[in-house]
Amino acid sequence: MSVLQSVIVETSPFDDQKPGTSGLRKKVKVFMQKNYTENFIQSIFNALGDKLKGATLVVGGDGRYFSKPAINTIIRIASANEVSKLIIGKLGIFSTPAVSAIIREQQVLGGIVLTASHNPGGIRNDFGIKYNIENGGPAPDNITNKIFEQTKQITQIKTTPTLETDRIIDILGTSKFNVDGREFTVEIIDSTINYVNLMKQIFDFNKLRALIRGTEDRPPFNILLDSMNGVTGVYVRNIFVEELGASPDNNVRRVVPLDNFGEIHPDPNLTYAKDLVDKLKENSTYDFGAAFDGDGDRNMILGKNAFFVTPSDSLAVLANNLECIPYFQKNGVHGFARSMPTAAAVDRVAAKLGKEMFEVPTGWKYFGNLMDAGRLSLCGEESFGTGSDHIREKDGLWAVLAWLSVIEAKNMGVEDILKEHWTIYGRNYFTRYDYEECETEGANQMMQRLEQLIASADFVGKSFTASGKTYTVAKADNFSYVDPIDNSVAKNQGIRVLFEDGSRLIYRLSGTGSSGATIRVYIECYEKENVLTDAQVMLKPLVEIGLDISQLKKFTGREEPTVIT
Ligand code: G16
């Protein structure tokens, strides 16, 4: 084996490498700038310091455009920074939940996830880089802050330009190199194997197969899973077609990962997964539909005729039925958690079952400490994320397997399960209005004005009326969170206007967009008896009040939201 020499390349900082809600997300062209990707990777390594020496890291992502050159860059820089081994998914393919699973299983230092999640891909669209820590979860704020500090002072990149990376990720197997006299290993694996095994340990595959295939007593439960040309396609084929006997023609769609997601927006919601919604409306033989995002951590659940389950309700239903899943039978159910803007349906289940309940800021990273401390079993977010402590990322496929387990155990369809749930607990009506790619200045001004408004002396106690309904403000603040495990504090996590009857209006700027500002307005009310009204009808007065209080139209010039969920 010839000895390769690492070199030092001089560089200078970029001023826009602050990680957002979930890593650094920018247009591909930004990452393509000379040294841009290199700087960020080296900054991650600088932030890790001595821990990196001799360590193993996992690398992979949703296979979006620019993944291959980014992986080659990571290989060369890792080799020069004394990393001992990289475990990489073949063709760079690794769903975000599968990365989390393998970091935990192999007990390695962490992983680098190459994805911009639900953001569109392709040369004109988005790329992203995220660091996950040894518990398999996204790096918490103290580490992303350290990485950001490094990006502001970086002057040198260590790399091994002579390390031949051409086609290295195309073939399964192990390659060994000698860099500066040290052994450096690159192992290319099939990233589905560990993940599928994990799912088999969590769920009862025999029961799920019987549900999908049908039995003497029960017709097949007809599902349609939409991978939206993202990374879950390979996992869906493996789990649902090969293991559970689903039809490759009728039960799954868009299962070949494409580096531009076929020019669609791989975001599982009613707007961007409309294709799936239409399919279920057209064909009433489908009992169930689900869609996933680009990197496989999000999910949308639909029933017959595209009956929509809000992510907040999905979380509450699963919380109420975890005993039908073998993993929880074995490990027990500890607490529940949701992100602050997520509707409080799960809180009612927690109260009834006597479980601890946590409300954290937006971002899956805030669940990790609670899970590590054994206080959290199931959590979710309104942004179509659901997951458990089996890993430290949200997990789209896990959510679908969990739903199918509940359906199998209860022998009920999705809509009936929801109606039964609402009869017991009442209904938290919820909707989210997104205004994507607004002018940053107008969006910031709107948030600043809101902040001043809610601080004004007479805001609490004030009443607002729209469409004949009146709401009185009980409390208003900018959400802060103190982590119960390490006491770290996250401030300014969204403006909350809480009304006397428990209804809520929340305003946040998204931390995952790649250009401009995305304003999110979250609207929620609770009804004990009146549970069957259309959500948009029920929430109309609050929406009007929300737009009025924020003067959103004036600040953004937008008449309508880009997405309503
Ligand atoms: C990420 C985070 C989620 C968060 C979502 C939306 O999801 O992991 O915790 O809820 O972004 O964040 P924002 O409202 O700031 O855009 P993903 O699926 O994009 O990785």
The domains found in the chain, sorted by start residue, are: 3-191 (3.40.120.10), 194-425 (3.40.120.10), 427-564 (3.30.310.50)
d(CA 559, CA 521): 14
Atom of ligand 1 nearest to the CA of 520: 14
Residue 4 pLDDT: 95
pLDDT at 214 over 80: yes
Q: Where are the beta strands (DSSP E) in 197-350?
A: 223-226, 252-253, 288-292, 299-303, 308-309, 335-339
Q: What is the pLDDT of residues 451-470, one digit of tens each?
A: 999 999 899 999 999 999 99
Pocket of ligand 1 (CB under 6 A): 21-22, 117-118, 293, 297-298, 339, 362-364, 381, 383, 385, 510-512, 520
pLDDT at 32 over 80: yes
As to burial, measured by CB atoms within 10 angstroms (0-12 exposed, 13-18 middle, 19+ buried), residue 13 is middle
Give the DSSP H/E element, type plus range, for residue 157.
Answer: strand 156-159
Atom of ligand 1 nearest to the CA of 512: 16
Q: How many Å lie between the centroid of ligand 1 and the Cα of residue 530?
A: 31
**CB atoms inside a 10 Å sphere around CB 501:** 13
Atom of ligand 1 nearest to the CA of 393: 8
Beta-bridge mates of residue 60 = 113
pLDDT at 495 over 80: yes
Rg (CA), the chain: 24
Share of the chain above pLDDT 90, in %: 96
- Residue 161: phi, psi to the nearest 5? -65, -25
Amino acid, single-letter form, for residue 275? D
Q: How many Å lie between the centroid of ligand 1 and the Cα of residue 385?
A: 8
Among 174, 41, 27, which Cα is nearest to 110's?
A: 41
Q: How many Å lie between the centroid of ligand 1 and the Cα of residue 382?
A: 10
pTM for this structure? 0.94
Residue 163 pLDDT: 95
**485 Cα distance to chain centroid:** 22
Nearest CA to ligand 1 atom 1: 22
Long-range pairs for 242-251: beta carbons < 8 A, 24 or more residues apart: 243/196, 243/200, 243/205, 243/209, 244/205, 244/208, 244/209, 244/212, 244/213, 245/209, 245/212, 245/213, 246/212, 250/222, 250/224, 251/212, 251/222, 251/223, 251/224, 251/225
| DSSP sequence for 275-309 | HHHHHHHH-TT--EEEEE-TTS-BEEEEEGGGPEE
pLDDT at 504 over 80: yes
The rounded mean pLDDT for the chain is 96
Residue 516 pLDDT: 85
Q: How many Å lie between the centroid of ligand 1 and the Cα of residue 362?
A: 7
pLDDT at 1 over 80: no
Confidence of residue 306 (pLDDT cuts 50, 70, 90): very high
Is residue 482 within 8 Å of residue 489, measured between CB atoms? yes
CA separation, residue 456 to residues 452, 459, 460, 477, 499 (Å): 6, 6, 8, 11, 16
**Average pLDDT in the 515-525 region?**
93
Q: What is the pLDDT of residues 415-442, one digit of tens each?
A: 999 999 999 999 999 999 999 999 999 9
Whether 503 is catalytic: no
Confidence of residue 130 (pLDDT cuts 50, 70, 90): very high
Residue 30 pLDDT: 97
Q: What is the pLDDT of residues 238-290, one digit of tens each?
A: 999 999 999 999 999 999 999 999 999 999 999 999 999 999 999 999 999 99
CA separation, residue 452 to residues 101, 145, 308, 389, 482 (Å): 44, 28, 37, 39, 23
Is residue 323 within 8 Å of residue 329, measured between CB atoms? yes
Among 213, 192, 214, 157, which Cα is nearest to 14's?
A: 157
Atom of ligand 1 nearest to the CA of 518: 16
Confidence of residue 369 (pLDDT cuts 50, 70, 90): very high
What residues contact residue 149 under an 8 Å CB cut-off, 6+ apart?
47
**Average pLDDT in the 169-184 region?**
96
Helical H runs in 171-204?
192-202
Confidence of residue 22 (pLDDT cuts 50, 70, 90): confident
Q: What is the pLDDT of residues 70-83, one digit of tens each?
A: 999 999 999 999 99
- Strands 85-93, 56-61: parallel, antiparallel or unpaired by DSSP? parallel
Nearest CA to ligand 1 atom 2: 363
**3-class secondary-structure state, position 8:** strand
Cα maximum dimension of the chain:
79
Residue 511 pLDDT: 82
Burial 113-138 (b: 16+ CB within 10 A, else e): bbbbbbbbbbeebbbbbbbbbebbbb
Beta-bridge mates of residue 360 = 339
Burial 418-429 (b: 16+ CB within 10 A, else e): beebbeebebbb
d(CA 375, CA 356): 8
The label of the residue with tokens 């490759």 reads 248
Among 493, 432, 436, which Cα is nearest to 310's?
A: 432
Report the length, in residues, of the chain: 565
**171 Cα distance to chain centroid:** 29
Which of 512, 514, 518, 563 gets mutated to test ligand 1 (max ligand atoms within 8 A of its CB)? Answer: 512
d(CA 247, CA 227): 15
Which is catalytic among the residues 43, 95, 100, 117? 117
- Residue 466: phi, psi to the nearest 5? -150, 145
Is residue 359 within 8 Å of residue 338, measured between CB atoms? yes
**CB atoms inside a 10 Å sphere around CB 374:** 12
pLDDT at 515 over 80: no
Which of 360, 364, 522 gets mutated to test ligand 1 (max ligand atoms within 8 A of its CB)? Answer: 364
